[in-house]
Amino acid sequence: MAAELPTTLQYTAEHEWVDAASPVTVGITAVAADALGDIVFVELPAVGSDVEAGAVVGEIESTKSVSELYSPVSGTVVEVNQAAVDDPSVVNSDPYGDGWLFRVEVTTHGPLLSAEEYGALNP
């Protein structure tokens, strides 16, 4: 599993990923996308809203279930991926690329895992 994870990203135990850019980009992992199945609806935080690391900031609904989306960082949302809202299947097909969810101007990071650490939790 860990070999399939982009090593340039950091991860949360709740299956979100974050990059090291500024502002950071947040998405869900392929592990989460696969477990959810066909994603049909994405609810994201509003641009300008403040998010807190570890707090629920939205929902992802699939044909199987509804899952909460957690922010891996604290800060202000500066952009949401409207393409993922309009066509949630992109989260399944390209979770680390076009399926990103939102961007945050970070004030603090929550507890983040390396690809190796995340992979060990999800063998």
Contacts of 28 (CB under 8 A, 6+ apart): 15, 16, 17, 60, 69, 91, 95, 99, 101
In a domain, 85, yes or no: yes
pTM: 0.94
User: Is the residue at 72 inside a domain?
Assistant: yes
- The 39-43 sheet, strands edge to edge: 39-43, 56-62, 66-70
The answer on pLDDT for 25 being more than 60 is: yes
* 122 is a domain residue: no
Flag whether 39 is in a domain: yes
Predicted confidence (pLDDT) per residue in 84-117, tens digit: 999 999 999 999 999 999 999 999 999 999 999 9
Q: What is the CATH number of the domain that holds 12?
A: 2.40.50.100
Structural domain total, the chain: 1
